[in-house]
Chains A and B, each alone.
Chain A
Amino acid sequence: MPSFLKEFFKRNGTGMGSLMLGLVLFWTIGLIILPQLSMLDFSFRPNLPPPEIGGPKDVYTLENYKYLIYGPEGGSQDYNAVDLKVFFRTLVAAVCVTVFNLILCYPIAYYLAQTKGNHIRIFALMLIIPYWINEILRAFALRIIFGETGVLNNMLVGLGIFDTPFDFIRNDIALYAGLGYAYILLMIFPIYNVIESLDRNQIEAARDMGASWTKIHRRVVIPYAKPGISSGCTMVFMLSAGALAAPQILGGPSSLWFTQLIYQQFNDNSDWPQGAAYAVVLLVTCILLVLAVMRLFKVNMGDIGK
């Protein structure tokens, strides 16, 4: 038995330890890994009516993956331009949401972490309370703000800034705002956590040596906050790319999110293998992207947990 397990059992007792270990294993293996594996399995099988499952036609195939790239066999186009476009647009948009979120949240996190006093708690509470409201309601609330006859348009037209209402929804502004807003906390808290442990004297030392505020952030605070920034960005990116409710409610009619395609495959087309293949592609691409970016910025996997 590895020593950390021994330690674990010694601390919790054999009974309690086994129970906790069992639950955690059930959670990771039973509820996460196995279903994912079965999804993976689905993605390599043809979509067959139930009687044919397990029959001679039920063989492993790359058809579902090919479909994403080349479209239906004998289709009019060389590539599945529609779906691929949605796929890349989703990734780019998720990156944009992440970057936008980082730019917005870093100063907030820095401010929260470096100032002391009660007002900070009130500030944090005000950030948290909106999350008591469920995602769907929040998304519809943003629709009310950004809609054609929404609050924002009424104001802008009323003030004479625009002649005609601006279509925030068709231009995806509502969607980006909604996604950005949905994950603000996931960005703020990891960054806040790291910066809070940054010795204030280091900032003062840099300042004492003549550094400007930008320089202090670039050379002292950001390198230190890198683990927090990467966990925040990873979470926001993964969740934005995988979001469904916000794109459904706030997305323009012509702009689909890739998750919506996946949903359509599962739900509308009842084509689970195709949906699974799309989902796997999205997942793997996102992971590879995150790993590549981590590599680029020299972040270790171990830092993410900090």
Chain B
Amino acid sequence: MSAGVGVNLENLWIRFGDFVAVRDANVNINGGDFFSFLGPSGCGKTTILRAVSGFLEPSDGKVLIGGNDMKGIGPNKRPTALIFQNLALFPLMKIWENITFSMEIKGASAKERRKRADELLDMIALPGQGDKLPSELSGGQRQRVAIARALCAEPDVLLLDEPLSALDLKLRQHMRTELREIQQRVGITFIYITHDQGEALTMSDNIAVMKAGVIDQIGDGKTIYNDPSTAFAASFVGENNVFRGKVKRIMGEEALIQTNRSGELVARISSANQGRMKEGDAAMMFIRPEAFALAPAGASGDHFVTAKVNHEEFEGNVFNIFMEGDGGKELKVSIPNLGQSFEDHTGQNITLEYETKNAVIVPAGELAAE
């Protein structure tokens, strides 16, 4: 799908006084993509969205929509529609008036608007609810009304600012699928903002991971998850175990790390850092909980980790083992529950193994806060 209208951020800076909210962002969003900005609270996600929708002028750099520089073009003149973090439905207008507000602006007749509202209400599975007020709907229903209102404006780019954050978990998961379906049906570009990595991974074609105003990594979900380019991306997206250390030897795409706690371990250098790391560099190695397997006792080598088990828990689909880890953080291991017998290891030392392709090395850096 490349029919849609793309969005490009070129060397985008946004400052509030001395405070830099967005620092030199370069992002290319393909037309028709479901693109997510993923980052912790306060990292500048909303700020970027406001710059795309036109409520904020960049301090420096450019916002291009469909290849056109948007400088000086107001939010009411851009082909974007924004869904606000708090939805911002008009409380005094009926649902159908809310949905068709953009048509009212263009002078459409009440009959036309009513008809379009009914179509959109059908699409969001709220048929016949047009005469209610927003306050008479549930959170999830309001959510869908906000989407319908934005789609009614027939934007080329739909901007969504954490639209699911107010919903409970079940509804949130349901809306993920629904949003993705709507996006594929209408085929326009979605720019989605979230601090929830699950949302970003399940819905997006591409994801930009943000940290404190800086874009850390851009890639599709698999790349971000399996091949993070920074310590922040590795630790923010999904659960991950960190091993701190120094690069002892570079061996092609892999490297041997002298870790602080677990001896010498081998892992793959992440793609973005290939050729950029050298011996003696401070490095971090990340291994996902599910990438470990139990190894025979006493096994040792450069892809074995031995540590003491603090406690274990049974989660249904997996057994979780929590072991003494690096830097006071527990090492978490998840063993799939395939009906095998599983003995309790609490208090014992056990040995784990991993495949080097499933462990990734990045330069040492700041980890995401828990």
A223, CB-defined interface residue at 8 Å: yes
Q: How far is the CA of A157 from the CA of B139 in the complex (A)?
A: 65
Q: How far is the CA of A209 from the CA of B228 in the complex (A)?
A: 38
Contact of B76 among A199, A201, A212 (CB under 8 A): A212
Do A224 and B92 touch (CB < 8 A)? yes
Do A202 and B90 touch (CB < 8 A)? yes
Contact of B82 among A205, A215, A220 (CB under 8 A): A205
* CB neighbors of A among B101-135 (8 A): 101-102, 104-106
Q: Tell me how far the C-beta of B324 lies from the nearest C-beta in chain A, rounded to whole angstroms.
A: 48
Do B76 and A210 touch (CB < 8 A)? yes
Residues of A within 8 A of B314 (CB): none
- Find the A residue at minimum CB distance from B78: A208
Given known A-B contacts A206-B101, A224-B92, A199 and B153 have beta carbons under 8 A apart: no
Q: How far is the CA of A207 from the CA of B84 in the complex (A)?
A: 13
* CB neighbors of B among A166-219 (8 A): 199, 201-202, 204-212, 215, 219
Contact of A223 among B55, B75, B80, B92 (CB under 8 A): B92
Given known A-B contacts A201-B86, A215-B105, A208 and B81 have beta carbons under 8 A apart: yes
Q: Tell me how far the C-beta of A195 lies from the nearest C-beta in chain B, rounded to whole angstroms.
A: 14
Q: How far is the CA of A208 from the CA of B76 in the complex (A)?
A: 5
Contact of B53 among A202, A208, A219 (CB under 8 A): A208
Q: Tell me how far the C-beta of B304 lies from the nearest C-beta in chain A, rounded to whole angstroms.
A: 54
Contact of B153 among A202, A210, A220, A224 (CB under 8 A): A210
Residues of B within 8 A of A223 (CB): 92
Q: Tell me how far the C-beta of B98 lies from the nearest C-beta in chain A, rounded to whole angstroms.
A: 10
Do B76 and A211 touch (CB < 8 A)? yes
Residues of A within 8 A of B169 (CB): none
Name the interface size band of chain A.
10 to 19
Residues of B within 8 A of A211 (CB): 76, 101, 105
Q: How far is the CA of A202 from the CA of B98 in the complex (A)?
A: 11
Residues of B within 8 A of A210 (CB): 76-77, 102, 105-106, 153
Given known A-B contacts A207-B75, A210-B153, A199 and B88 have beta carbons under 8 A apart: yes
* CB neighbors of A among B62-85 (8 A): 74-77, 80-82, 84-85
Q: How far is the CA of A224 from the CA of B149 in the complex (A)?
A: 20
Q: Mark A211-255, 1 if CB is under 8 A from B, else 0.
A: 110010001100110000000000000000000000000000000
Residues of A within 8 A of B80 (CB): 208
- Find the B residue at minimum CB distance from A198: B91
Contact of B84 among A201, A212, A215, A219 (CB under 8 A): A201
Contact of B105 among A201, A204, A209, A224 (CB under 8 A): A209
Do A220 and B102 touch (CB < 8 A)? no
Do B90 and A220 touch (CB < 8 A)? yes
Do A205 and B105 touch (CB < 8 A)? no
Residues of B within 8 A of A202 (CB): 88, 90
Do A204 and B84 touch (CB < 8 A)? yes
Residues of A within 8 A of B86 (CB): 199, 201
Do A208 and B90 touch (CB < 8 A)? no
Q: How far is the CA of A210 from the CA of B74 in the complex (A)?
A: 9
- Find the A residue at minimum CB distance from B85: A201
Q: How far is the CA of A187 from the CA of B153 in the complex (A)?
A: 37
Q: Tell me how far the C-beta of A290 lies from the nearest C-beta in chain B, rounded to whole angstroms.
A: 22
Interface centre among A201, A202, A210, A211 (most CB of B within 10 A): A210
Q: Tell me how far the C-beta of B82 lies from the nearest C-beta in chain A, rounded to whole angstroms.
A: 5
Residues of B within 8 A of A201 (CB): 84-86, 88
Residues of A within 8 A of B55 (CB): 204, 207-208
Do B75 and A208 touch (CB < 8 A)? yes
* CB neighbors of A among B140-154 (8 A): 149, 153
Q: How far is the CA of A224 from the CA of B55 in the complex (A)?
A: 22
- Find the B residue at minimum CB distance from A224: B92
- Find the B residue at minimum CB distance from A211: B105
- Find the A residue at minimum CB distance from B97: A219
Q: Tell me how far the C-beta of A13 lies from the nearest C-beta in chain B, rounded to whole angstroms.
A: 38
Q: How far is the CA of A207 from the CA of B105 in the complex (A)?
A: 10
Do A208 and B92 touch (CB < 8 A)? no
Residues of A within 8 A of B81 (CB): 208-209
Q: Mark A39-56, 1 if CB is under 8 A from B, else 0.
A: 000000000000000000
Q: How far is the CA of A245 from the CA of B92 in the complex (A)?
A: 41
Q: How far is the CA of A212 from the CA of B76 in the complex (A)?
A: 8
Q: How far is the CA of A201 from the CA of B106 in the complex (A)?
A: 21
Contact of A205 among B54, B88, B92, B104 (CB under 8 A): B88
Using CB atoms and an 8 Å cutoff, list the residues of chain B in contact with chain A: 53-55, 74-77, 80-82, 84-86, 88, 90-93, 101-102, 104-106, 149, 153
> With contacts A202-B88, A208-B76, A223-B92 known, what are 17 further pairs, Cβ within 8 A?
A201-B84, A201-B86, A202-B90, A204-B75, A205-B82, A206-B90, A206-B101, A209-B81, A209-B102, A210-B105, A210-B106, A211-B101, A212-B105, A215-B105, A219-B93, A219-B101, A219-B104
Listed by A's residue number, 18 A-B pairs whose Cβ atoms lie within 8 Å are A199-B88, A201-B84, A204-B84, A207-B55, A207-B74, A207-B76, A208-B54, A208-B75, A209-B76, A209-B81, A209-B149, A210-B77, A210-B105, A210-B106, A212-B76, A212-B105, A219-B90, A219-B101
| 9 nearest CB pairs, A to B | A201-B88, A209-B102, A205-B88, A210-B76, A201-B84, A210-B105, A208-B82, A223-B92, A202-B88
Using CB atoms and an 8 Å cutoff, list the residues of chain A in contact with chain B: 199, 201-202, 204-212, 215, 219-220, 223-224
